Amino acid sequence: MSPPAVPGPAAEPGRLPIVIGVTGHRDLRPADQAAYRARARELFADLQRRYPHTPLRVISALAEGADRLVAEVALEEGHDLVVPLPFEQAEYERDFPDSVPQFRALLAQVPADQVFVVAPAAGRDAGYRPPADVPRDAHYAAAGAYVATRSHILLAIWDGVTVPASAGTGMVVGLKLAGDDGGPVYHVRACRAGGTDHEAGRASWLYPPSVGRDSLDSMCMRLDRFNGDPVRRRIVPRAAQAAVELLPEIAERPAGDRRLAAAFGYADHLANHYRRVTHAVLRTVLLLAAGLALTFEVYAEIYPARSVPALYLAIFASITLLYHWQKSKDAQGRYLDYRAVAEGLRVQFYWHVAGLPEQVCASYLRKQLDELRWIREALRGAGAIPPTAALAPQRVLSLWIHGQTEYYRSRALRQERRLHRLERASALLLATGLAATFSLVALWHFYERAERLHHWVVLIMGFAPIAAALCEAYGEKFGLRTQANQYARFAAVFGRAEQLLERLSGEPPTASRQAAELELLRDLGREALMENGDWVLLLRERPIVLPKG
């Protein structure tokens, strides 16, 4: 076996992976295995070439045949390997007594906290002991479902024949290709031992109706843009601090928890950076638009010199250049997308460390499946980690609720203040324009004699309503009223959760109390995702555009 490759982007914190699940036959024809390895390497190399900033994570149950073959290639090339076992190790080894040494040798190369057992019911409890009355196929089906639902691409080394079994490769492939949440299958045609298939080793892509090659490329390109964003190099300390704020003892947690927290930290600070850029661009564009209107009024009423149109042209060019710069950087799009990723990762982290099996990608941002699908798929990749030693639900709730309640209350108050300032400024400008107009009508004969003053009054009369409209445009572009209402609703949601948590804290530490706390965590996460999704969709409908009129 070749020595492990030098770690690439997977070694850098905060990057979200492309996840490749593995399924296939156990009894592969030996003569074809070199071709299968070559196809796996080609897939990995193609993904790394296309998306150089994005790590690959491979999920394999290490069954005989295809699972181990691809796992060996992944380990040789330095990719992350996650191993969901259908049984505890000793029980699993009963199914392949002749190849136990190979299995153990592979297992020894995988970090212990990336090997776990998928239970048929929950699929999350690493200490699960299968009861005697649960069929063995149910365990294999659970592991296969984990591989299919947590991966972006399924690598299937398979003959393409579906047999009536509840836990075979055909079931895993069918699950991957089914439904709106389906994904592509990289099918490597396989031949079982003793067979005679001359096309063994030929590769092709299979797609569900909702996902084509363009959709896969778009998702991976957006993910690679997030992973390779040039700003991330400047936010390392702040991203690390954000991870600590999620969970103070994050440095003592398993690697999967640390990865999830690091991804949140980077998404959070990338979103904050592009929020500042977006707001600065919009404020500057509107101020320049006000300058444009003022320059026109000055030229028309006060100072008809050649230099004024030249200034008008310079301001207009500045607006156009700034708009196109912002558009080329997609600052507003990155701000909204990264904020959605960060909030999804926050919920996923707290669900994960509390031991809840729910996946954020199953319900988040479904209103615009195609346009925002990459965000949900990024969260799917982030959730492809082993289960963890669960924290007490009350501890998780306390960390989550108290900070968020105060945050949303302060944000609601801040937005209300911003809105009131804008409304006062707009009202003052309108009043000024109205006063100038009234003055012109009431003192018409006076202004006919005071010609220069007459021009200044006309300038104010024309410019003040435009400036008021620009104030309104700023509030409208960022939906300040809607945001203030949403922040207030968020604060109310977390405030009610805080009260319920206090009530639960006074009860004895029983199983029913823990179940109630977990249910509160689940409901709170769903509420947070729904509100945040609505906020993202609201602002995506209000892009920065060149001023008109």
Write the pLDDT tens digit of every residue in 67-81. 999 999 999 999 999
Q: For the CA atoms of the chain, what is the radius of gyration?
A: 30
C-alpha 378/C-alpha 466 separation (Å) is 43
Query: How many angstroms separate the CA atoms of 241 and 303, rounded?
Result: 55
- What does the DSSP assignment read for 496-547? HHHHHHHHHHTS-S-HHHHHHHHHHHHHHHHHHHHHHHHHHHHHHTS-----
Rounded to whole angstroms, how far apart are CA atoms 430 and 303?
A: 24
Q: How far apart are the first and last CA of the chain?
A: 69
Percent of the chain topping pLDDT 70: 92
The pTM of this model reads 0.85
pLDDT value, residue 539? 77
Give the model's pLDDT for residue 125: 38
Question: What pLDDT was estimated at residue 47?
Answer: 96
Given this model, what pLDDT does residue 164 score? 62
* 10-residue averages of pLDDT along the chain (549 residues): 44 87 93 94 96 96 95 95 94 93 95 88 42 72 91 93 75 84 90 79 88 86 93 84 90 91 94 91 86 85 86 90 88 91 94 90 71 88 89 87 84 85 87 87 82 84 84 75 81 86 85 88 88 80 65
What whole-number distance in Å separates Cα of residue 318 and Cα of residue 311?
10
pLDDT value for 187:
95
Contact 9, 54 (CB under 8 A): yes
The DSSP symbol for 370 reads: T
What local confidence, expressed as pLDDT, does residue 499 receive? 86
**Chain centroid, CA 467 distance in Å:** 38
Which pLDDT score, from 0 to 100, does residue 4 have?
A: 42
Angle at 79 between CA 74 and CA 83, to 5 degrees: 70
The highest-level CATH class for domain 9-227 is alpha beta
* Strand 185-189, strand 203-206: pairing: antiparallel
Q: How far apart are CA 460 and CA 304, in angstroms?
A: 17
The ranges assigned to domains in the chain are 9-227, 236-540
